[in-house]
Amino acid sequence: MLSGLVIVDKPQGWTSHDVVGRMRRLAGTRKVGHAGTLDPMATGVLVLGINKATRLLTYIVGTSKTYTATIRLGETTITDDAEGEVTETRTAAEVTDDAIAAGVAALTGPIQQVPSSVSAIKVNGERSYARVRSGEEVKLAARPVTIHRFDVHSITRVDGGRVVDVDVTVECSSGTYIRALARDLGNGLGVGGHLTALRRTQVGPYSLDQARTLEELAEELNVLEMSLAARALMPNRELSEEETTEISFGRRIAAGPGAGTPSAATAENPAAAFAPTGELVALLADAGSFAKPVLVFAPGTGPGTGQAQ
């Protein structure tokens, strides 16, 4: 059974669910999931898991993300991006490059961010965007996110400076909304703002260099096998033959070298354990002087093809 990760370069206009549906047909299986939604307007890295590798997706969702984006200052939209109608315009002609740099600096590091009201966050069991479309005014609570990097590459003054387009790169924690970042930059400068382009270039260790378009994947289904995917994603632990046998039966073994330190493997951030053959055997968490399996993979037909138990 084919299992592994597929790194897709998502096309504009497709939902993440659309891409999952296409991958189900290409891979010939219903068991396909993704590691974090990408808006229809956005393009770039969308990580999919096939069959047994769907068990790895939960550990990818929380990784940091990197984007390139264009923020337009001087126009506010209902969706905080270019897909929504413009609700307010204010000339950005007086906004200086220094003011933009100061606004970006204020939004770098740990911040409290209010997600866009048309996000997929559920409010009393219903998606926020559905409530907005039905005419309801939705106010979401702020949540902590971290902007690790917010770099400005170019500033272009359009229509005599009435609007200003700012090309940026953003590296951020999971749960960050780039369109909310665009909105908040514009609001902080007093002219409003929204996102006009967004491309995700990295999810955790998986980059755009590894991504393939759906057309390319239709010609050749490029799958990153589970052992390689886990090696890139998590701390690695090489097991002896004896340890491999014990873990394969779900038994605990001696803790890893990082036990008792901040780098210790946990249930939320486990270590990937490999047999001497290179096969992914289990995900391990340290508990005192022992390491116990969080997820065990039974022997498969080759490296990285183990079956989750």
Single-letter amino acid, residue 89:
T
- Catalytic hit among 9, 39, 184, 286: 39
Residue given tokens 């047994």 in the structure block: 52
Q: What stretch of H or E contains 219? A: helix 214-219
CA distance 165 to 68: 13
Is 9 in the active site? no
Compute the half-sphere exposure of residue 307: CA atoms within 13 Å on the CB side of its CA: 6
For residue 202, list its beta bridge partners.
Answer: 66, 207
Strand residue runs (E) in 131-288: 143-158, 163-172, 193-203, 206-207, 236-238, 253-254, 271-274, 280-287
Count of beta carbons in the 10 Å neighbourhood of residue 299: 14
Q: Which of 197, 204, 135 is nearest to 166 (CA)?
A: 197
* Active site residue ranges: 39
